[in-house]
A and B are shown apart, each in its own frame.
Chain A
Amino acid sequence: MNFEYFFRLFFSGLTRGSIYALLALGYTMVYGIIKLINFAHGEIYMIGAFTALIVAGALSLTGMPALAILVLASVVALVYSSMYGYTVEKIAYKPLRQAPRLSALIVAIGMSMFLQNYLLLAQTSNFLPFPDLLPEFSLPESWGGMVNGPQFLIFVTTAIIMVALTLLIKFTRMGKSMRATSQDKVMAALLGINVNRIISYTFIIGSFTAALGGILISSYTGQINYFIGFLAGIKAFVAAVLGGIGSIPGAVLGSIVLGMAESFAAGYISSVYEDVFAFVILVLILIFKPSGLLGKPEVQKV
């Protein structure tokens, strides 16, 4: 067995998994709070990448160093995309809060198509080159060839975000009120929690991490178009279901498992069917363990 090849696939799987995790968090958190699969979530990822591209393009004319461009473009794109997520919730989902869940789901699909086509009209249908903004740095000799600088940067960034988010959810006042709201909205309101504000926070956080994923992967692969959010979004959704929708650690675990599975399947079986594996996993998990790897069955007493 070729270990170098194995580890190369391993790290490539970890890179994919990290990006899925950044996206899957948004799906699972939004589902946890308002029981909605936000199909427009992948579009926020794509909008994050586009915004970073446009800002970086403008800044590169000023002749700034690449790192400064990366930081500035990312900050602008993250804030802009977070506001996008916030606004989508306010215009499209909030009016349907009391409506049947199917109506909100259909609106989410509509919102996804709307945003894709809006970007298609406003920008272009062609693939655009994305500037290589991630700093190239050399890793220790012994890692050579198996993992590269940008991949390493993607895992580290993802790991930092996951730790920060876990601390936020577990220990802060805002995190506790998010957990309470996801478990019982009426009771949360009766204790003085502003439920609308908690829902907005959820969309803002989810959009932030999705946009970060979009920026990272685009500067890694080097190209974007209006459609990149669709497949990434669907796969991250599969990852969230695999981990147990509504569970944050589940979303991370599901994403890593999915990223690895895709990478190994493409490397050892065939890369032609790369995208099929995600959906095979979805079908299997729905048949054998519909609550997902870490999904909790409801504990309820009457």
Chain B
Amino acid sequence: MLELRNVQTYYGNIKALKGIDITVNAGEIITLIGANGAGKSTTLMSICGIVPPREGSIRFKERELRGMDTDRIVGFGISQVPEGRHIFPHLTVRENLDMGAFLRRDKAEISRDIEYVYELFPILAERRNQAGGTLSGGEQQMLAISRALMARPTLLLLDEPSLGLAPLIVQQIFEIISQINRENGTTIFLVEQNAFQALKVANRGYVMETGTITMTDTAENLLNNEDVKRAYLGV
């Protein structure tokens, strides 16, 4: 479904992605793990055209995305939950969700989806008229995921959804991620530093170090790999 080939992305003269190859098949959960500054977020920002790659190709459903504007790329069914959540602080919870459905016109279906995310995260229903900026970190993460779902994406990109959250909430977020994948068939590309949790929900994983992919395998094999264990699982 999504194929990155030899993707090279720069910030000024600094080469952040040194030619990476990643394949995501329809219906999978794949995870990209690695340390801080390895280039994980840059990978997602390259896919969405926020930081356009200088070389290589990014194909999504047989379309070349490189060089396209972000709003067009998003229109093909790719949603991203960026790192740091990026909630609109002065819009209400409900307005944030409405913005998620910006490209859709099917009003009746949109209100059904709003009910659906309220079921996934009942706390959002309670807070629907509150400004996004007043929510707690965990609630903001729930809102960010819900807002991305409002676009009915075929591919959902999640950047560090567990960052800075209490362990109980992290558990809940990961459960919802696999639920979204199971129930809606949404393909998920999960970027995480919490390698253990990520590999537990994923089918396959990629390991990234300073702008290159150093390893790829099934999630199970990566969980049992000695190098991965030492470097990322803290065992």
Contact = CB atoms under 8 A, between A and B. Distances in A.
A189 interface: yes
B71 A301 contact: no
Contacts of A298: 89
Interface string B43-69: 000001010000000000000000001
A296 interface: yes
Contacts of B74: 189-192
Contacts of A296: 90
A302 B88 contact: no
B80 A190 contact: yes
Given A180-B88, A183-B90, A190-B70, A299 B131 contact: yes
Interface string A153-187: 00000000000000000000100110110011011
Contact of A190 (B82, B84, B133): B82
B140 interface: yes
Contacts of B99: 176-177, 180, 188, 191, 193
Which of under 10, 10 to 19, 20 to 34, or 35 or more describes the interface residues of A? Answer: 20 to 34
Contacts of A188: 99
B86 interface: yes
A126 interface: no
B100 interface: yes
Nearest to A173: B102
Interface string A182-218: 0110111111111100000000000000000000000
A2 interface: no
Contacts of A301: 133, 135-137, 140
A142 interface: no
Contacts of B82: 186-187, 190
Contact of B134 (A179, A184, A192, A299): A299
Given A183-B91, A299-B131, A299-B133, A177 B102 contact: yes
A176 B91 CA distance: 9
Given A299-B134, A301-B135, A190 B48 contact: yes
A296 B48 CA distance: 31
A138 interface: no
Given A186-B82, A299-B133, A191 B102 contact: yes
Contact of B84 (A176, A193, A302): A302
Contacts of A180: 88, 91, 99
Contact of A300 (B48, B50, B89, B103): B89
Contact of A191 (B84, B135, B140, B151): B151
Given A301-B135, A301-B140, A192 B103 contact: yes
B91 A179 contact: yes
A178 to B, nearest CB: 11
Nearest to A191: B102
Nearest to B103: A192
B3 interface: no
A183 B133 CA distance: 11
B164 interface: yes
14 contacts: A173-B102, A176-B99, A177-B102, A179-B88, A183-B90, A189-B70, A190-B79, A191-B74, A191-B100, A191-B151, A192-B102, A192-B103, A300-B133, A301-B137
Name the 8 nearest CB pairs between A and B, nearest first: A299-B133, A187-B86, A189-B70, A192-B103, A192-B74, A183-B88, A194-B71, A299-B89
